[in-house]
Amino acid sequence: MRKLVLGSMSALLIATSLQANAQPDPEEQIIFRKAGYSFMSWNMGKIKAMAIDGTMAWDPAQVQAAANSIAATANSGMGALFTPGTEKSIGDTKTNVRPEMFTDMEGVGKVAMAFSKAANELAEVAKTGDKAAIIKAFAATGDSCKGCHDKYREKM
Ligand code: HEC
């Protein structure tokens, strides 16, 4: 009986936290989007270290894993983390988003599409292990990150 009660309690707790994560409140949205971008940045850094700087040993499987992580994040629907109420920092949770991100829907759509295309191409090319092609696709992805930052992120 005790076990059963505990079991259903933890099921309830899990259900509650999943619900909270599926519809994050404004502060969580800022935390999640910054985490997503930081995670992509880490993975971009690994590809750069392996393919360009040579500070990490060239490892096609690791390049592919990093590219897949970037593409998966790009495909995760991060637009849902920019609802009204997330334009400004909330308490200690700072945001560097610019207000244009919430008004210039056409422009945001363009940079988001370009980014999605580049990230998915990088993941495709990473499967081949072709270093020269990976470097090209990596550069295009980096440009697409910058394309959004130049317009919609405060200078950091
Ligand atoms: C569609 C627009 C867009 C694209 C594409 C984009 N970013 Fe960003 N990025 C932002 C915005 C907006 C912020 C600021 C988020 C905030 O502070 O709320 C940001 C913040 C960041 C941050 C800082 C996170 C933090 O903790 O403050 C990093 C790092 C970053 N982006 C890296 C990347 C990388 C790497 C890519 C490409 C692989 C990328 N971004 C693609 C819009 C974009």
Is 14's pLDDT higher than 70?
no
Q: How far is CA 57 from CA 51, 53, 110, 129, 136, in A?
A: 9, 10, 35, 14, 19
Does any ligand 1 atom lie closer than 6 A to the CB of residue 98?
A: no
* pLDDT for residue 22: 76
Ramachandran angles phi, psi of 93, nearest 5°: -90, 100
* pLDDT for residue 23: 84
**44, 90 Cβ separation under 8 angstroms:** no
Query: What value does the mean pLDDT take over residues 26-44?
Result: 98
In angstroms, rounded to a whole number, what is the distance separating the alpha carbons of residues 2 and 134? 56
Q: How far is the CA of 4 from the centre of ligand 1 (A)?
A: 45
pTM: 0.90
- Best residue for ligand 1 mutational test, from 116, 145, 155 (most atoms within 8 Å of Cβ): 145
In angstroms, rounded to a whole number, what is the distance separating the alpha carbons of residues 137 and 68? 13
Q: How far is the CA of 2 from the centre of ligand 1 (A)?
A: 47
pLDDT band at 26 (very low <50, low <70, confident <90, very high): very high
* pLDDT for residue 7: 60
Domains of the chain: 24-152 (1.20.120.10)
- Residue 140 tokens, joined: 């295009």
pLDDT digits (tens, 9 = 90+) for 90-134: 999 999 999 999 999 999 999 999 999 999 999 999 999 999 999
pLDDT digits (tens, 9 = 90+) for 117-128: 999 999 999 999
The number of the ligand 1 atom at minimal distance from the alpha carbon of 78 is 1
With b meaning 16 or more CB within 10 Å and e meaning fewer, what string describes 124-154?
Answer: ebbeeeeeeebeebbebbeebbebbbeebbe
